[in-house]
Amino acid sequence: MSSMQKALETQLKNIQAKTGKTLEQLAAIVQASGLAKHSEIRDMLKRELGLGHGDANTLVHTILHSDGESAAKASGAGEDEVLDAIYAGPKATLRPIHDKLMKAIRAFGDFEIAPKKGYVSLRRSKQFAMIGPATKTQVELGLNMKGVPATGRLVELPPGGMCQYKVRLGGEIEVDSEVIQWVRTAYDRAG
């Protein structure tokens, strides 16, 4: 079992302890609510059960099997098939940028790749990066690493988003030592 799976199991046990309800009972509450949208269910769980945003979000993904990884497993798609879908059509030329980034990141050590609809999330004990096509000509690398000075390339994002910084990459040559160091910083801080 990976460290991410252990962390998820621990989080789900803690949610059950906080609410005094089993996962089956929590799933029944979601079903009885009649809500269908992820955000509506999450907000209902926060309001009705007093869960924090992260716990409510994880619970919705677990109950609905709606995270990208579960969706990929349910469809039988592997990582390559997921990436083929993300980098399809005019975005296919961006795949080498993604692959070069991933080759460098894999050298850091263990982490989880969670495919989403239009990008992949990279996580250790928490998300440290997101990679996906931003446009037909650029890959966006989102990074979580508070307190790093922004530069012309490393753009600080407003608080409350999925990432604190982003870098746009238009070619493999732009995946240089500076970018890899930023990703390494995010990776190390997510440990």
- Which of 122, 123, 128 lies closest to 102 in space, CA to CA? 122
- Which of 77, 119, 110 lies closest to 1 in space, CA to CA? 110
Neighbours of 6 (CB within 10 A): 11
Dihedral over alpha carbons 48, 52, 55, 59 (to 10 degrees): 20
Give residue-wise pLDDT tens across range 74-129. 444 456 777 888 899 999 999 999 999 999 999 999 888 888 778 888 988 889 99
Written as six digits, the tokens of 75 are 């469809």
Q: Identify whether the C-beta of residue 43 lies closer than 8 Å to the C-beta of residue 30.
A: no
Burial of 187 (0-12, 13-18, 19+ CB in 10 A): buried
d(CA 95, CA 138): 10
Per-residue pLDDT 10s for the chain (191 aa) are 455 567 778 888 889 999 998 888 988 888 888 887 878 888 898 999 998 877 887 888 788 765 544 444 444 445 677 788 889 999 999 999 999 999 999 999 988 888 877 888 898 888 999 999 999 999 999 999 988 999 999 999 988 788 899 999 999 999 999 999 999 999 999 98
Query: How much is the pLDDT for 73?
Result: 46
Query: How much is the pLDDT for 171?
Result: 95
Query: How much is the pLDDT for 62?
Result: 81
- Which of 107, 102, 16, 101 lies closest to 62 in space, CA to CA? 16
